[in-house]
Amino acid sequence: MKTLSIKTLIGLVIAISCFSFTLNAKNDVSENLKLSTKEQSIISIAALTAKGDLSNLKPALNGGLEAGLSINQVKEVLVHLYAYCGFPRSIRGLQTFIEVLNERKSNGINDNTGVEASPIPGEQSKYERGKKVLGELTQTPQDGVLTGYSAFAPIIDTFLKEHLFADIFERDVLTYAERELITISVLSTIGGVEPMLHSHLNICLNVGLTPGQLHEFVCIIKSAIGENEAQNVLAVLNEVLNKRQ
């Protein structure tokens, strides 16, 4: 009997988990589940890193490379998520990735490095560039008066626009959709951030992810992180989809 590859095994686990879990979903999803294997890997890598589950992160990193993610794409996943779960988790993820690459190299596997991020034009200020990116993601004008937490602590609005949405989201190693998958993976894992998860699930739909793909995302969270986290995400996702109908 042939040994299953990591990529095949991960795919089988996710498929079985998705089938059993979506039977209980409130929304009827007629679309095929069609996240790519790269996107599935991005979700697992981001969620396991955010959780700090380094033992299971190792096979997920191997699976991502086997699915066709470049070294630079995986590094970008691990860097991006620091904005949502902190430097400690991000750095431990990067250190684990170094171990994986060294092990693969010692086994004669030479992985594709991939492209570096392109230089970002600096005609506009970072704040204005961040406003533009956030407007594209949310499909909402960003020229209104600051409200809520942004009005209470305006510096956080500056940090969000200048750093998160300019410095990070503008980097072209990953697409907006891939960056949003990382973001909702982290938010789903850490819990207690339902308003942000609600906003980013909406953004996922804005950048081209489908309801079917987001239900598949929930299945991957169930498989990688747990039933409770998946049920929480599903509840928020159902709210988002119901409001957009």
139 falls within a domain: yes
74 falls within a domain: yes
- Res. 18 pLDDT band, cuts 50 70 90: low
Q: How confident is the prediction for the chain on average, in pLDDT?
A: 90
Domain extent at residue 54: 6-113+123-244
At 153, the amino acid letter reads A
Model pTM? 0.89
CB 139 within 8 A of CB 206: yes
Q: Which residues are within 8 A (CB) of 169 and not within 5 positions of it... i.e. 6 or more apart?
A: 130, 133, 137, 176, 179
20 falls within a domain: yes
Concatenate the DSSP letters of all residues of 180-210 into one string: HHHHHHHHHHH-S-HHHHHHHHHHHHHTT--
* Tens-place pLDDT, residues 217-245: 999 999 999 999 999 999 999 999 999 98
1 falls within a domain: no
81 falls within a domain: yes
174 falls within a domain: yes
63 falls within a domain: yes
- Rounded to an integer, the average pLDDT of 198-211 is 97
b/e string for 57-83 if b means 16 or more Cβ within 10 A? bbebbbbbbbbebbebbbbbbbbbbbb
CATH number, domain at 48?
1.20.1290.10
- Rounded to an integer, the average pLDDT of 76-84 is 98
Whether the pLDDT of residue 123 is over 90: the answer is no
How many domains is the chain partitioned into structurally?
A: 1
Q: How far apart are CA 192 and CA 178, in angstroms?
A: 23
Whether the pLDDT of residue 7 is over 50: the answer is no
What secondary structure, in 3-state letters, does 91-123 show? HHHHHHHHHHHHHHHHCCCCCCCCCCCCCCCCC
118 falls within a domain: no
Take residue 113 and report the two structure tokens written for it: 């490095």
Q: How far apart are CA 180 and CA 195, in angstroms?
A: 15
